[in-house]
Amino acid sequence: MAKDISKEMIRGATDGIVLNILAQGDSYGYLMVQQVAQLSEGQYQLNEATLYTIFRRLTKNGWVESYYGDESQGGRRKYYRITASGTQQLADFRQEWRFAKDIITKLVTGELSHDQWNNY
């Protein structure tokens, strides 16, 4: 049985997830929920309420901007796109992620050498 990733474990990466998707093309809420599910192969579901909170934060930081589409049927969709500073933030996030991932892997899977602690 497949296990879903903990929302607590992924919480600090949601900005990076959204920026990564927007770096690949403009998106809107419902579509992005589907894109997150696709990227995670169904292992993580981002709900729209959480997503719109992330959109507001990223917009406030100047990393994302929004615009309305010109759909002729139904309501107009609000699209989001990454800005130049958002692209830089994504690059910074990816670098920090690689660094943190390596350290966390060592901390949660590494074994201490007990010989070095015998002198304390």
Residue 6 lies in a domain: no
H or E segment and range at residue 67: strand 64-68
What b/e readout covers 73-98, taking b as 16+ CB neighbours within 10 angstroms? eeeeeebbebbeebeebbeebeeeee
- Domain limits for position 77: 11-109
Residue 103 lies in a domain: yes
Residue 16 lies in a domain: yes
What is the 8-class DSSP label of residue 24?
Answer: T
Beta bridge partners of 28: 79
Token pair, residue 52, equals 């719109």
Residue 1 lies in a domain: no
Residue 92 lies in a domain: yes
* C-beta separation of 72 from 57 below 8 A: no
* CATH number of the structural domain spanning residue 22: 1.10.10.10
The most confident of 12-16, 18-22, 99-103, by mean pLDDT? 18-22
Residue 2 lies in a domain: no
What is the C-alpha separation between 119 and 29, in angstroms, rounded? 57
Residue 53 lies in a domain: yes
Is pLDDT larger for residue 15 or for residue 7?
Answer: 15
Domain count, the chain: 1
Residue 89 lies in a domain: yes
Tell me the per-residue pLDDT of 51-91, one tens digit each, with 9 for 90 and over: 999 999 999 999 999 999 887 777 789 999 999 999 999 99
Tell me the per-residue pLDDT of 29-48, one tens digit each, with 9 for 90 and over: 999 999 999 999 998 999 99
